[in-house]
Amino acid sequence: MKIFAANWKLQKSPKEAREFFTELLGGANRPILSKKDRRLIIFPSSPCLEAASDLLGASPVWWGAQNCYSEGKGAFTGEISAQIVKDLGGQVILLGHSERRVLFNEGNEFIAKKVGYVQSLGLIPMLCFGETLSEREGGKTFSVIGSQLKEGLKLADRSKQILLAYEPVWAIGTGKVASLEQVQEAHQQIYQILSELGFNSQVPILYGGSVKPENAKELISIPHVDGFLIGGASLETKSFLAIADA
Ligand code: PEP
């Protein structure tokens, strides 16, 4: 099973989201959506979650929020409740995206709490991690990835579903895709780290960072690349579907 997840960040109004979903479903008979060997996931901005619930609810496409708080209810102004996402029918929550880590100072400990909380609700966390350019240039890629995984998965239930997205920070939104060798090496290492941490060998490891229809075919054929997390190229149904069809 290959997984193709769209991270819209703060793009699209609810009206535009509805248009996208209607086009994506293509009259409910777009064959790629019901292929057993692939899963499409959309992470719209929070004001568009209701549109996702309305239009994707009865479809094979999964959806969810781009972040959440580590509790579902209470005095947490401005936060996103995974419980509300669950009530709306969503299945997945994106966590630990590098923009959350860098711009909003989210650390592994806080992210770990969210991972545990999301799983406790019966939803699936998609944990993002990856090194910055200076960490790569300083030869620290695998120690950084190792600690992000070890600490970020501290409260994860090994018996419950989880999705991982390796995203080298320097490749996100820059057009600079990691080389096939870099992706292969990283995914092999991640696979190894997960087994050392006691995770099942079936945990999907997605790659993210400037994935486009032009590079998707080569990237998806790398061992242990189980799908993609896609930013820019997920904003148009045409490019998103072209990647999922790679
Ligand atoms: C992302 O936002 O997670 C991402 C991978 O973006 P892009 O595909 O635009 O690099």
**Looking at residue 32, what is its pLDDT?**
79
With cut-offs at 50, 70 and 90, classify the pLDDT of residue 35.
Answer: confident
CA of 20 to the centre of ligand 1 (A): 18
Tell me the pLDDT tens digit for each residue of 120-171: 999 999 999 999 999 999 999 999 999 999 999 999 999 999 999 999 999 9
- The residue whose C-alpha atom lies closest to atom 1 belonging to ligand 1 is 231
**Looking at residue 52, what is its pLDDT?**
98
DSSP 112-147: HHHHHHHHHTT-EEEEEE---HHHHHTT-HHHHHHH
Ligand 1 pocket, residues with Cβ under 6 angstroms? 7, 167, 172-173, 208-211, 229-233
**Looking at residue 27, what is its pLDDT?**
60
pLDDT at 28 over 80: no
What letter does residue 171 receive in the DSSP assignment? G
d(CA 98, CA 169): 7
- The residue whose C-alpha atom lies closest to atom 2 belonging to ligand 1 is 231
CA-CA-CA-CA torsion sign (151, 154, 159, 163): negative
Lowest-pLDDT range, 26-30, 42-46, 112-116? 26-30
Tell me the pLDDT tens digit for each residue of 201-245: 999 999 999 999 999 999 999 999 999 999 999 999 999 999 999
CA of 32 to the centre of ligand 1 (A): 22
DSSP 185-220: HHHHHHHHHHHHTT--TT--EEEESS--HHHHHHHH
CA of 189 to the centre of ligand 1 (A): 21
φ, ψ at 37 (rounded to 5°): -95, 10
Best mutation site among 210, 236, 243 for ligand 1, i.e. most ligand atoms within 8 A of its Cβ? 210
Cβ partners under 8 Å of residue 149, min gap 6:
129, 164, 190, 193, 194, 197
Q: What is the mean pLDDT of the chain?
A: 96
Range of the domain at 124: 2-244
Q: What is the number of structural domains in the chain?
A: 1
CATH code, domain with 92: 3.20.20.70
Tell me the pLDDT tens digit for each residue of 177-194: 899 999 999 999 999 999
The first and second tokens of residue 14, run together, are 């609810």
d(CA 146, CA 187): 12
**Looking at residue 4, what is its pLDDT?**
98
DSSP 74-112: SS-TT---HHHHHHHT--EEEE--HHHHHHS---HHHHH
pLDDT at 34 over 90: no
